[in-house]
Amino acid sequence: MKIENYIRDIQDFPKKGILFKDITPLLNDPVARKECLSILTDSLKGQRIDKVVGAESRGFFFGMLLAQELDAGFIPVRKPKKLPFQTISASYELEYGFDSLEMHTDAIKHGDRVLIHDDVLATGGTAKAVCELVEKLGGEIIQCNFLMELSFLNGREKIKDYPVFAAITY
């Protein structure tokens, strides 16, 4: 089974000139979803993971499934002012400015072995910001894990100090 067959291209979404990779058909098919989870977890054979960090918002889908499969805690990383407890933040650059992400200050304990998951590795800004948050709290990044990598955007360069895995590369 090729999981890429369950990802559809949407032209000009969310704005003209963008080719959006829609994962909802993958999420909707239980067999394809299980296959995708298997591919993502196979990349972690022999690794102990204490926490899975999922980046808002599409990183939550497989992030939670990975946490369940790996018997690990799940940590949501969100846009500013979306988390109810004390947070730390990290900023990252967008093509048109800056944005930031936040994580609860008590989410990771020093020495926790952390898997970072998001749906797509594009320019790498989000992933780099999440790595900064994890390391600020003393976590050890075991892998940056993605459903898809858009390799032509060179996002891997921004997180080159960490092991990176993508189930699909475009």
Tell me which amino acid residue 163 is. Answer: P
**Nearest alpha-carbon partner for 104 in 72, 71, 137:** 137
Measured CA to CA, the distance from residue 56 to residue 101 in angstroms comes to: 9
Q: How many CB atoms lie within 10 A of CB 136?
A: 14
Task: Report helix angle 30-42 to 59-70, nearest 10.
Answer: 70
Compute how many other C-beta atoms are within 10 angstroms of the C-beta atom of residue 154: 12
Q: Which amino acids are annotated catalytic?
A: 58, 95
Residue 39 near residue 3 (C-beta atoms within 8 A): yes
For residues 90 and 133, what is the distance between their CA atoms, to the nearest angstrom? Answer: 6
